[in-house]
A and B are shown apart, each in its own frame.
Chain A
């Protein structure tokens, strides 16, 4: 069945370093993928998305890479800051099964060390 998973539950980085958060997915028919950031006590906040017909998309300090061959998605955060500390979720948006719903991974906790 469909699944979206993350390789690492916790990632610790030094302030100023680059962070890379990985995600694997299994549904090759997905339309697009989204990264969300969830800070403690808050709902998920949209970071960036990428369509299935793209390999790379850049935002402000963030880049998402999509490798459809191995069904792998990554989020790169440049010059990681303390405010980046949060749980990051990748999500797959699928129109199969008669609905439009997000399938989320379990999340990666990003900890930024000063």
Chain B
């Protein structure tokens, strides 16, 4: 069974540009979570999508947005990139959204803002 896949693996942008990151869930998983992992720091919750709807978001500005498609894959968009947006962006998917269900992570997209 294929795991969570994220693309691209690496992304280099300049300040002010927009970045689009993609995530494909494990088959049967309907919930998608996005996390930001800055260098040397823990994971910070960004967004949660379930059944195509945004269910919750973390303490990030509105220029971080996303969507979930009918096939449950998801995109994370970051507008007006800033240097401090450089980080590893991780997607996790879950079968439903009950607390007992485990979130499985992809390998992440390394975003570098120059």
- A contact set with B: CB distance below 8 Å: 31-32, 34, 36, 41-46, 49, 51, 89, 91, 93, 95, 97-107
A-B contacts counted at CB < 8 A amount to 67
**Residue B90 interfacial (CB < 8 Å):** yes
From known contacts A100-B31, A101-B45, A102-B33, infer whether A43 and B4 are also in contact, taking CB-CB under 8 Å: yes
| Given A100-B31, A105-B42: A43 and B105 interface contact (C-beta under 8 Å) | yes
Whole-angstrom CA separation of A56 from B108 in the bound complex: 31
Once bound together, how far apart are the Cα atoms of A45 and B33, in whole Å? 15
Does B63 belong to the interface (CB within 8 Å)?
Answer: no
- Interfacial chain B residues near A45, Cβ < 8 Å: 105
User: What are 10 A-B interface contacts by the 8 Å CB criterion?
Assistant: A32-B100, A36-B105, A44-B90, A49-B102, A91-B43, A100-B48, A100-B97, A101-B45, A101-B48, A102-B45
At the interface, yes or no: B25 with Cβ under 8 Å from chain A?
no
A99 to chain B minimum Cβ distance, whole angstroms, is 3
Residues 75-111 of chain B, each 1 if its beta carbon lies under 8 Å from chain A, else 0: 0000000000000001010100111101111111000
Residue of B nearest to A48 (CB): B102
**Bound CA span A42–B48, Å:** 21
Bound Cα distance A66, B81 (Å): 41
Of A34, A51, A89, A93, chain B has the most CB atoms within 10 Å of the CB of A93
CB within 8 A of A104: which of B43, B104, B108?
B43
Give the residues in chain A near B105, CB-CB below 8 Å.
36, 43-45
A43 adjacent to B42 (CB under 8 Å)? no
Residues of B bordering A, CB below 8 Å:
4, 31, 33, 35, 41-45, 48, 55-56, 58, 90, 92, 94, 97-100, 102-108
Closest to B3 in A: A43
Q: A44-B105, A49-B102 are in contact. Are A89 and B42 (CB under 8 A)?
A: yes
Residues from chain A with Cβ under 8 Å of B107 in the complex: 41-43
